Amino acid sequence: MRVSEFVSHSSEETIAKGREIAAGLHPPVMVMLSGELGSGKTTLTKGIISGLGAAPEEDVTSPTFTLVHVFHNHCKVYHVDLYRVENFQDLESLGLEDALGEEAVVIIEWSERFSYRTDWPRVEIRLEHAGGDSRRIAISGLSLENRL
């Protein structure tokens, strides 16, 4: 599987990359985001969700306390933040198995805490601080290999 790397120098560039990623997504698909706090996961998600036509970017916020936001305009999108999930029981209480039973795009921040098994296609995105407002974004996933 090929890995595409990109360096974003601003929030606007990160959002634009999210829109570009959205153009290659076709439900059902999971977008697995990983990276430290403040690395740009929610900013990238703003671009993905707005690029899918599910919500304007200004309506996309981190679901850190609610854990799951659901958007459904042109397509159904689940935005999940697992930062506060500590164990399988916490994960199970979110009801994600219902989301995985639908034709949807499921975007998961802190994806390393996601332990469900699924045969859904995955796009894996790692974000890293690269100094100042810059972020290094590494993207891998079969559905995007020829598009980015």
pLDDT by position in tens, the chain (length 148):
678 999 999 999 999 999 999 999 999 999 999 999 999 999 999 999 999 999 888 888 776 655 577 787 778 999 988 887 766 566 566 667 777 788 899 999 988 877 777 888 999 999 999 999 999 999 998 545 444 5
What's the pLDDT at 130?
Answer: 95
CB of 67 closer than 8 Å to CB of 94: yes
The angle that helices 41-51 and 11-22 make with each other, rounded to 10 degrees, is 50
pLDDT one-digit tens code per residue, 38-72: 999 999 999 999 999 998 888 887 766 555 777 87
Three-class SS of 1-46 = CCEEEEEECCHHHHHHHHHHHHCCCCCCEEEEEECCCCCCHHHHHH
Look up the CATH number of the domain holding residue 63: 3.40.50.300
Which DSSP letter does residue 114 get?
A: -
pLDDT above 90 covers a percentage of the chain that reads 53
How many domains does one find in the chain? 1
Domain of residue 127 covers: 3-144
